[in-house]
Amino acid sequence: MNAIHWQEDEDEEQFVVPENVVDLIFKISCSALPVDHAWSLSEAIHSELPWFAEEPQAGLHLVYGADSGNGWERPSDGGDTLYLSRRTPLILRLPKERVDDAEALTGKTLDIAGHSMEIGPAHSRFLAMTNTLYCRHLVCEAEQSEEAFLQFAVESLQALNLRFKKVLCGKGSGFSSPEATISTRSLMVAGLSLDDAVILQEYGLGPLRNRGFGLFVAHKTV
């Protein structure tokens, strides 16, 4: 990570995470998916939950295994196959009032680019109480420089009136869609106040959150 924005601010006392938006975590039975599964997975979910694409605070977490373990390294090429463990979940980020609607997925079998995904029961989880958040895939312009992307990210965070200390951008990726390749970069935001970290998780950044982009999760530290 080369580009960095640094700004000092005050820490904030702990507080109770609100229940406005939660992660709904489904057990699934699915042995493998393409690494580049954002569009096919979101299409399958939109087909079963027509309201999902129109819900402003609905988001899809891409299915993501561990980076490495026992000498295994997660494939990064979009055309590769990602083999999943039995513990790998499907996670949707939803406003609390949509949880019951989304549970209609339980018992369904989705076709994800030729791979079968059986959806099991679900449970909800509060958003993370943390000062450091990470977005694996934030939509950006094709061939956008790190500096331009960082400026866009900082301005987007400031537009939400968020307080933060550090912003770092990371590697880029590309995802297929019917119209064009979707370009993304990873982004870490550190030194958030706890309430602002919740806001960032609730709203995310950038477009296509219902396609698997722009969602933030907890990160250990910078």
Per-residue pLDDT tens over the stretch 109-158: 999 999 999 999 999 999 999 999 999 999 999 989 999 999 999 999 99
Q: Give dist(CA 54, CA 153) in Å, integer.
A: 24
Are residues 1 and 165 in contact, defined by beta-carbon separation less than 8 angstroms?
A: no
Q: What is the Cα–Cα distance from 8 to 210, expressed in whole angstroms?
A: 33
What is the pLDDT at residue 3? 53
Average pLDDT, the chain: 89
Q: Domain boundary at 68, 92, 126, which?
A: 126
Q: What is the pLDDT at residue 171? A: 87
> Does residue 184 share a domain with residue 89?
no
Residues 6+ apart with CB under 8 A from 73: 67
Q: Distance between CA 171 and CA 22 in Å, rounded? A: 28
What's the CATH code of the domain at 98? 3.30.70.1890
Phi and psi at 200, nearest 5°, equal: -65, -35
Instruction: Using alpha carbons, select from 9, 11, 7 the residue that is nearest to residue 168.
Output: 7
State pLDDT tens for residues 27-49: 999 999 999 999 999 999 999 99
Q: Answer with the one of 99, 126, 153 that is the final residue of a domain.
A: 126
What is the C-alpha to C-alpha distance for residues 168 and 177, in angstroms, rounded to an integer? 27
My answer on whether 49 and 112 are in the same domain is yes
Domain co-membership, 143 together with 83: no
Whether the Cβ atoms of residue 218 and residue 143 lie closer than 8 Å to each other: no
pLDDT mean over 166-177: 94
Q: Which domain does 44 fall in, by range? A: 21-126
Q: Are 149 and 110 found together in one domain? A: no
| Amino acid 80: pLDDT | 83
Residue 49: half-sphere exposure toward Cβ, Cα within 13 Å: 24
The DSSP bridge pattern shows strands 4-6 and 182-190 to be unpaired
**Ramachandran angles phi, psi of 96, nearest 5°:** -55, -35
Q: Residue 160 is part of a domain; what is its CATH number?
A: 3.30.70.1210
> What is the mean pLDDT of the segment spanning 8-12?
43
| 161 in the same domain as 141 | yes
- Is the pLDDT score of 90 beyond 90? yes
Domain end: 126, 151, 170, which one? 126
* Whether residue 122 is found in the same domain as residue 181: no
Residues 212 and 180 in one domain: yes
Q: Is residue 105 located within the same domain as residue 181?
A: no
Name the residue among 179, 183, 180 with its Cα closest to residue 142: 183
- E strand segments, 81-200: 81-83, 89-95, 109-112, 115-126, 133-139, 166-175, 182-190
- How many structural domains is the chain composed of? 2
State which H helix or E strand residue 147 sits in: helix 146-159
Residues 39, 182: Cα–Cα separation, whole Å: 10
Confidence of residue 14 (pLDDT cuts 50, 70, 90): low
Q: Are residues 51 and 102 in the same domain?
A: yes
What confidence score (pLDDT) does residue 44 get? 98
| pTM of the predicted model as reported, rounded to 2 decimal places | 0.87
137/214 same-domain check: yes
**What's the pLDDT score for residue 12?**
46
Q: What is the pLDDT of residue 6?
A: 46
Specify the pLDDT at position 9.
41
